[in-house]
Copies of this chain bind each other. A is one copy, B any other.
Amino acid sequence: MTMNIPLRREDVSDMTGVRTSPGAVSKGATRVEIGLSAAIVSVCRDEPMIMCVPTNVDGALVDVLPSGPFSPTEHRTLDTGLRTWVAEQTDLDLGYVEQLYTFGDRGRHAQPFDQTPHTVSIGYLALTRQPLESDDAQDGAVWKSWYDFFPWEDWRQGKPALLTDEIEPRLNEWCERVDTEINPYRTSSRKQRVRVAFGIDGGAWDEERVLDRYELLYEAGLIEEARRDGREAALTWGPVPRFGTAMQFDHRRILATGIGRLRGKLKYRPVVFEMMRDEFTLFELQKTVEAILGPHLHKQNFRRLVESAGLVEPTGDVRAKTGGRPAKLYRFRREVLLERPAPGVRVKPGRA
């Protein structure tokens, strides 16, 4: 966990031993560009969707997240910068927005390694209501299922065969492979990381570890982006297996971060409602949660939970044509945000 960095001793201390402005950032430091990207999530017909702007790169269409550079002269804050770019590229006026992470690794952004100026990439998660069918393809932006990019995360039908048949064997091979390389003692580390992230032998699948899994697949060279970035591990696999659709730059990494964060946050903050229409049935709510989290929830317990937590209140209306008895309609009780410290749909997997 610890890392040793060669020290550069060039600090300016005065005679008293008190440093003069160690935090002053202004003496000729390198400047970098900042990229802002948004993983915009919605759920449409029980499918978690993310907003993409397919873009022509060298003649091929590549999926890109709505994004653009931060311009301190034009954007008052990072947040407004992001909203501006998203509005331009997708015509969406974002509501809920949350910063995810700032990535700064060299070589994970530009295609030609280190050819462009260094970019630091700030990823955001945004949630929107279910898009109407009509305004589906506005301005070149499209909604895509997030499982297009992460098929191994789709446990709605149980464990995906892709994991057992394709991914796990290759990851195991990659774990063994270290022996022949430089650090034999790191084998166990790789093995353990894979074990924890993918819940291999004994471990449970933790639906929140989306980024861990993506990063391991990247490191193992099993992801198109790894080959694109010139990762050596990627060259050892012959024809690269394409697990999921690739994205430009580090956008799939940002998306992985967003999915993981959303899956976690759902459990302790009432963020699902950012993706629901004003009125909904409890089953629709459950389906939305399940689209994001994966496993099936126990229906009766789910409604007990949601109702007893005071997250919703009935509107008085009902929705007919459900295929059975009509369902009561509910709305989100915004007041809970003021009442309890951390209300959320704290769910655990159950049976149907």
Contacts and interface: CB of A to CB of B under 8 A. Distances in A.
Given A31-B31, A104-B70, A338 B22 contact: no
A122 interface: yes
Contact of A55 (B22, B67, B117, B119): B22
Chain A binding surface, main DSSP class: loop
Contact of A117 (B5, B31, B105, B342): B31
Interface stretch (A12-20, A218-226, A288-296, A310-318): A12-20
Interface residues of A, number: 95
Interface in A174-202: 192, 195-196
Contacts of A79: 3, 104
Interface in A43-63: 53-57, 61
When all copies of this chain in the complex are counted, the total is: 2
A4 B56 CA distance: 29
Contact of A32 (B31, B56, B67, B80): B31
A17 B101 CA distance: 31
A5 B306 CA distance: 35
B30 A72 contact: yes
A25 B18 contact: no
A236 interface: no
Interface of A: 1-5, 7-9, 11, 13-14, 17-23, 25-26, 29-35, 37, 53-57, 61, 64-74, 76-81, 83-85, 87-89, 93-96, 99, 101-106, 109-110, 116-120, 122, 139-140, 192, 195-196, 203-204, 206, 208-209, 248-249, 251, 337-342
